[in-house]
Chain A
Amino acid sequence: MAAGEGVVPSPALEASHALVRRAGERLGHGIDHTVVALAGATGSGKSSLFNALAGVDLSAVGVRRPTTSTTHACWWGDDATPLLDWLEVSRRHHVTGGTDLDGLVLLDLPDHDSTALEHRAEVDRVVAVADVVVWVLDPQKYADRAVHERYLRPLAHHAGVLVVALHQADRLTGEQLEACRSDLAELLRTDGLDDVALLTTSVRHEAGVAALREVLVERVVARRSAIARLEADLDSLVVVLGETCGDGEPPRPDGGGRRQVLDALVEAAGVGLVTDAVAGSHRAAAVAATGWPATRWLRRLRPDPLRRLHLGAEGGAGRTSLPAPSAASTARVETAVRSLARSASEDLPLEWSDAVDAVARDRLGVLPARLDAAVASTDLDAGRRPRWWRAVGGLQLVLAVVAVVGGLWLAALAGLAYLQLGSLGTPDVGPLPVPTAMLVGGVVAGLLVAFVARLAAGVGARRRARRARVRLEAAVAAVASAEVCDPVDAVLARHQRFCESLAALAG
């Protein structure tokens, strides 16, 4: 039942708690006693029947209506005082001397249909706890709405607990009695009490109560009535609770809905921005490491895109500077979560699908912060620098040195020429003099290497962005599970547990 807490309407849950409590209390008094309550309309003859069974004039029989105003008890055999205390019946009588009725606790109830409303309340109270209820009907009143609609129909699961006695049978001729009896049987069928025990009784003849007495002896000896009553209560409770269980198949986890939620969250988390920044950062670092030395310092002036988002190696698990999710992406997340909840709870009764919807949307407010934290704590592998960068960087340095040496050489030559100190010969490489070849070759090769390295860095940046995307999506998926999918699954699991335990109870 704990599985249904907060979801199943509280009256049904309270009823189940009350039943558990009552079952404990009733069984605590043992099943050696069988509590039989005589209930019926005013004037139906409950008290006369009670007296006839007890063999003593205990309950006042009278012509004024209503006659009996409090419950009377009469017990046979072992001490039933604690049980009667529990039943809150104070007017008691003990029949001594062992008879076959030993173990019977017979209660004579007030009427349920007179103008005295407190009588009705007392009847309601006792009828709800007695092990066996003998409903005393008479030929005048057997079709009254008050008894059928208020008491018999709600007890439709209690056919085994009920005994219906058509009392004052002596007022009718044999033929009339038979017609009356079958009419009553038909009415009881309409009430849903198909196989309830139906007797005819009378106190005017000796044999009139024999049949009822026999039934009571049978129940007293069997000592099963207390348990049968609780089982019947349980059955009707299971039916009530079963309405909140639904009859559809247990809902299947919905892959499409989850994918949708994940996509919307990926967008809301700004994964695209981050992966772009990762790629940009990679490219910037590559250029800084492998670019043409003459211009690579310019790159350093531009901030690293990752660092600007407060991400990257030293970013750690703090907050990022990613812009908050846009209204549109928040809206998309909300719509996706709604549709996930809806598809997951499609076959469930309303109470449960409300619960699913509520837990799914419960965390919408904290999702941005969670996503941000997830992105911040994802290792983007930002600080890593490929080894070839260093090699290329070295090469660029060498090329730069070559170009500079060539340039200096040429400058020296130019200086000597300016000072008219004659010209030093220069060795030639092919058609070009060596210093010229060094300057031009160094610059051209440096630019060429920078270009090729940039192309390679572009490939690397894309690969790295892809890797970052995979990791970020995994992080977002973890958030989606923790904040949306798992709570939904938990409710679905609760529903299943609830229904399974109900089925076990019913079985």
Chain B
Amino acid sequence: MSARPDLVLSLVELRSAIAATRFELEVPGADASETERDALVRQIEDYLLPRLRSLDAPLLAVVGGSTGAGKSTLVNSLVRAEVSSAGVLRPTTRAPVLVCNPADRHWFEDDRVLPGLARTTGVEAGPGTVHLVESTGLEPGLALLDAPDIDSVVSANRALAAQLLAAADLWIFVTTAARYADAVPWALLSAAAERRAEVAVVLDRTPPEAVEEISEDLRRLLADHGMAGALVRSIEESELEGGRLPESQVAPLRAWLAGLAGDAEERARVVRATLDGALSGMERTVGVLATASREQEQAAAALRAVATDAYADARGDVAVAMQDGTLLRGEVLARWQEFVGTGELMRSVQAKVGAVRDRAWAALTGRSTTAASVQEAVESGVEALVHAAADRAAGRTVSGWRDEAAGRALVRGRTRELAEASPVLLASLPDEVRAWQGQVLDLVREQGAGKRTSARIASYTLNGAGLAVMLVVFAHTGGLTGAEVAVAGGTSAASQKLIEAVFGDQAVRALARQARQDLLDRVEGLLGGEVQRFHALVDQAAPADGGHALREAVDGWRAARRAAQW
């Protein structure tokens, strides 16, 4: 008997959606979400899908519990055979042992259930395997799985035990008189109760005189945890007979299991109850995961925003510095003053570009007073500005990220490298600035072509005119006060007048706007590359859709479940 195939199909889709969900940003709880996702995917593969496909498969009873509770001894005693090794060293069982009647073997030997664990039939079972043992000590219709402990120092055991318990139709929970109040098992039992899984509790190693008292206390605890109906069986502490518990102690439990195996109706009820509970639990967990996924997306957006804001501010700083003329002050202006004041301009106005340059270089004496040095001053000024802005933005982004756990994890080990402008930027910055200067000269040439002014431009030399435009770019909006202009020698006004005489006022405005815009575009491109460094880090870790696919898949599943009237 199988449930509706569309239900199975829908669950397969949901499984893929869950498996594809990522929680790689280290926001608080991300690790837990990852563990939960993996556990859920495993439960779907190990239990929900196989169970939905074949409702009439034998009942799988998982014997779980604390280390040293006597799980293996109990299983051996129940099937009257040495199927699982027991011992005094903790933890004893490291690979799970599955015991079934030979008639049921075909249900378990392929990867129908627990597909992630290879089957072994030899003596030694390694990690990642299930040891499959046939035994006629069990009736057909019920298989026992001896799970590793849930609470020892061996973490692989804990994970495996949790996986196996999630795949159980029935939990046989083994605890002892010394253990029954331990916190770890109760956390698992609470989860089982929440999922409405069928649980039977075996109270092992009970001193005979205390059976009544402890059983009563245990029932009270079970009731407190919402499992008032759970079956409790005590086994008295006694000498082992050939490594097994005395027959008198295990007989009632065995009889109960045999009864369950033989009663198809009761078996179906147990299967159905646990399956329903597990499906509801799965839906709840998916909801939690979807929320966590949204949190991831929000965290990623916040991190991206920190970087974006920092670099937007950096670009704004650069734009302001270029607009209010401050970049022009100091060195640039001083050079321009020398350039004009020494009469170099007038001479270069009449000479050709090459001749100017030759003369300029020839005139180089320590501190140069040539056209080339004006160009250098502008160039290094822009470079310094962009470099500092990029450094500042990188530093701000990194320190902003380090305030958040997720961001801290992303920059871990690379903090210093990320907190400054990237080598790529530093390498391409001079080229960009030079390319811009070339473009300004082209602009000047273009403006001149076909106009009456072209003759005049030719007489001023392109180089000088281009330089003047560059200076106008920085001073056009007139950030300089009259006093400062006077201090600087009144030269920016002069350069503007000069250039206006050549091109006309409107054309100069347009030229300056275009040149400034071009420079800003280039800066934006450079800073865009910088911010991309950070966005790429976030993109690597963050989910793109924020759990959207997950929510859709679970909606699809719910619809299928309703349609199947499950």
B1 CB–A CB distance under 8 Å = no
**B129 part of interface (Cβ distance < 8 Å):** no
B391 x A143 contact (CB < 8 A): no
Q: Interface digits, A65-92 against B, CB 8 Å rule (1 contact, 0 not)? A: 1100000000000000000000000000
Please, how many angstroms separate the alpha-carbon atoms of A324 and B479 in the complex?
A: 12
> Once bound together, how far apart are the Cα atoms of A324 and B328, in whole Å?
11
Q: Does A170 contact B (CB under 8 A)?
A: no
Q: Do A114 and B181 touch across chains, with their CB atoms under 8 A apart?
A: yes
- Roughly how many angstroms separate A272 CA and B488 CA in the complex, as a whole number? 12
Pick the residue among B153, B186, B210 that contacts A115 (CB under 8 A): B186
Inside 8 A of B177's CB, which chain A residues have their CB?
Answer: 43, 63, 65
With an 8 A cutoff between CB atoms, is B555 at the interface? no
Cα(A170)–Cα(B169), bound, Å: 38
Distance of A342 Cα from B395 Cα, bound (Å): 12
For the residues of B in contact with A, the DSSP-based class is helix
Chain A contacts of B389 at CB under 8 A?
Answer: 331
User: Taking the complex as formed, is A29 at the interface, i.e. its CB lies under 8 A from any CB of chain B?
Assistant: no
Q: How far is the CA of A342 from the CA of B329 in the complex (A)?
A: 29
Is A32 interfacial (CB-CB < 8 Å)? Answer: no
Residue of A180, A321, A332 contacting most chain B CB atoms (<10 Å) = A332
Give the residues in chain A near B382, CB-CB below 8 Å.
328
Q: Complex Cα distance A267/B214, Å?
A: 86
B381, A328: Cβ atoms closer than 8 Å: yes
A322 (CB) vs chain B CBs: closest residue: B487
B179 touching A272, Cβ below 8 Å: no
Taking a contact as CB atoms closer than 8 A, the residue among A41, A142, A272 that contacts B182 in the complex is: A41
Indicate which residue in A146, A321, A353 contacts B416 across the interface (CB closer than 8 Å). Answer: A353
Q: B170-204 vs A: 1/0 string, CB under 8 Å?
A: 00000011111111101000000000000000000
Q: Interface readout for B136-177 with A: 1 if CB under 8 Å, 0 if not? A: 000000000000000111110010000000000000000011
Which of B67, B183, B392 neighbours the largest number of chain A CB atoms within 10 Å of its CB? B183
Q: Are A146 and B392 in contact (CB under 8 A)?
A: no
**In the complex, per-residue mask of A263-291: 1 if CB is within 8 Å of any chain B CB, else 0:** 00001001011001000000000000000
Residue in A65, A187, A329, A346 whose beta carbon sits within 8 Å of that of B180 in the complex: A65
> How far does the alpha carbon of A63 sit from the alpha carbon of B237 in the complex, in Å?
13
Known: A64-B213, A139-B68, A141-B68. A326 touches B178 (CB 8 A): no
In Å, the complex CA distance between A251 and B182 comes to 52
Q: Which residue of B lies closest to A333 (CB)?
A: B388
Within 8 A of B (CB), among A296-314: 308-309
Any chain B CB within 8 A of the CB of A398?
no
Asked if A42 and B181 sit within 8 Å, CB to CB, the answer is yes
Expressed in whole angstroms, the minimum distance between the Cβ of A277 and any Cβ of chain B is: 9
A140 touching B69 in the complex, CB below 8 Å, given contacts A113-B184, A146-B184, A321-B487: yes
Asked whether A326 and B332 contact (CB < 8 A) given A140-B176, A309-B487, the answer is: yes
Query: Which residue of chain B is the closest to A112 with respect to CB atoms?
Result: B183
- Evaluate contact between A323 and B330: CB separation under 8 angstroms: yes
Interface string of A356-372 (1 = CB under 8 A from B): 01000000000000000
> In the assembly, what is the distance between CA of A353 and CA of B327, in Å?
31
Question: A357 CA to B328 CA in the complex, in Å?
Answer: 29
Indicate which residue in B89, B153, B332 contacts A180 across the interface (CB closer than 8 Å): B89
Please name the residue on chain A nearest to B387 by beta carbon.
A335
Q: How far is the CA of A406 from the CA of B321 in the complex (A)?
A: 63
B118 within 8 A of A: no
B174, chain A: closest CB distance, angstroms: 12
Please tell me the size bucket of the interface on B. Answer: 35 or more
Q: Is B380 an interface residue (CB 8 A)?
A: yes
Chain A residues touching B, range: 35 or more
- B46 interface residue per 8 A CB criterion: no
Residues in A with CB closer than 8 Å to B484 are: 323
Can you name the residue of chain B whose Cβ is closest to the Cβ of A138?
A: B178
Q: A139-B68, A144-B151, A146-B151 are in contact. Are A334 and B391 (CB under 8 A)?
A: yes
Q: How would residues 15 to 26 of chain B score, 1 for a CB under 8 Å from any chain A CB and 0 otherwise?
A: 000000000000
Q: Does B424 contact A (CB under 8 A)?
A: no
B214 lies within 8 A of A270 (CB)? no
Bound Cα distance A63, B332 (Å)? 90
Shortest beta-carbon distance, A61 to chain B, in Å?
12
Docked pose: A66 CA to B181 CA in angstroms: 6
0 or 1 for each of A224-262: is its CB under 8 Å from B? (1 = yes): 000000000000000000000000000000000000000
In angstroms, Cα B183 to Cα A144, docked, is: 12
Q: Is the CB of A324 within 8 A of B183?
A: no
In the complex, the number of residue pairs spanning A and B with C-beta atoms less than 8 Å apart equals 173
Given contacts A145-B158, A172-B88, contact A327 B326 (CB under 8 A): yes
Q: Cβ of B425 < 8 Å from any Cβ of A?
A: no
Cα–Cα, bound, A328→B321 (Å)? 8
- Let me know if A145 and B68 touch, CB within 8 A: no
Q: Which residue of B lies closest to A325 (CB)?
A: B330
CB <8 Å contact, B183 and A327 = no
Whether A413 is near chain B, meaning CB under 8 Å from some CB there, is no
CB of A452 within 8 Å of the partner chain? no
A320 → B minimal CB distance (Å): 11
Name the residue in A144, A329, A353 with the highest tally of chain B Cβ atoms < 10 Å from its Cβ. Answer: A144
A139 vs B392: C-alpha distance when bound (angstroms): 61
Measured between C-beta atoms, what is the minimum distance from A473 to chain B in Å?
A: 16
Inter-chain contact B68/A273, CB cutoff 8 Å? no
User: Is A478 among interface residues, defined by CB-CB distance under 8 A?
Assistant: no
In the complex, what residues of B have CB within 8 A of residue A115's CB? Answer: 181-183, 186, 221
Q: Closest residue to A309 on the B side, CB-wise?
A: B487
Assembled-state Cα–Cα distance A110/B168 (Å): 35
Whether a CB of chain A sits under 8 angstroms from the CB of B537 is: no
Q: Which residues of A contact B155 (CB under 8 A)?
A: 145
A141 to B175, CA, bound (A): 12
The reply to whether B391 and A326 contact each other, CB–CB distance below 8 Å, is no
B351 within 8 A of A: no
Measured between beta carbons, the chain B residues less than 8 angstroms from A276 are 334
How many angstroms between the C-alpha atoms of A138 and B177 in the bound complex? 13
Whether, in the assembled complex, B123 has its beta carbon less than 8 Å from a beta carbon of chain A, the answer is no
CB-based contact A145/B152 at 8 Å? yes
Q: Which residues of B contact A328 (CB under 8 A)?
A: 321, 327, 330-332, 380-382, 384-385
Whether B269 sits at the interface, judged by CB under 8 Å, is no
Assuming A327-B327, A335-B391, is B178 touching A183 (CB within 8 A)? no
Q: Of A179, A321, A323, A335, which contacts B329 at CB under 8 A?
A: A323
Question: Are A331 and B67 neighbours in the complex by a CB distance under 8 Å?
Answer: no
Give the residue among B210, B391, B483 with the most A Cβ atoms within 10 A.
Answer: B391
- Cβ–Cβ contact B183 & A273, under 8 A: no
Q: A332-B384, A334-B388 are in contact. Are A324 and B329 (CB under 8 A)?
A: yes
> Binary interface profile of B, 289-333, with partner A (CB < 8 Å = 1, else 0)?
000000000000000000000000000000001100011111110
Task: Tell me the smallest distance from the CB of A182 to a CB of chain B, in Å.
Answer: 9
A223 contacts B by Cβ under 8 Å? no
Q: Mark B391-418, 1 if CB is under 8 A from A, else 0.
A: 1100100000000000000000001100
A66, A115, A183 interface centre (most CB from chain B within 10 Å): A115
Q: Which of these, A63, A172, A179, contacts B213 with CB under 8 Å?
A: A63
**Which of A65, A267, A321, A338 contacts B178 (CB under 8 A)?**
A65
> B385 and A327: CB pair below 8 A?
yes
Q: Which of A66, A321, A326, A353 contacts B330 (CB 8 A)?
A: A326
B416 to chain A, nearest CB (A): 7
Of all chain A residues, the one with the shortest Cβ separation from B149 is A143
Which interface residue of B155, B182, B186, B486 has the most chain A CB atoms within 10 A?
B182
Question: Counting CB contacts under 8 A, is A350 at the interface?
Answer: yes
A179-B158 contact in complex given A66-B181, A335-B391, C-beta closer than 8 Å: no
B-chain residues with CB within 8 Å of residue A323 when the two chains form the complex: 329-330, 484, 487-488
A-B contact sample (7 more), CB < 8 A, given A113-B183, A146-B151, A331-B387: A64-B214, A65-B182, A140-B69, A141-B68, A142-B90, A143-B90, A328-B331
Instruction: Give the top 8 A-B pairs by smallest Cβ distance, nearest first.
Output: A43-B178, A328-B381, A327-B321, A331-B388, A143-B90, A65-B181, A326-B330, A140-B68
Q: List 7 A-B contacts (CB under 8 A).
A: A41-B178, A42-B179, A66-B181, A115-B183, A143-B153, A327-B385, A334-B388
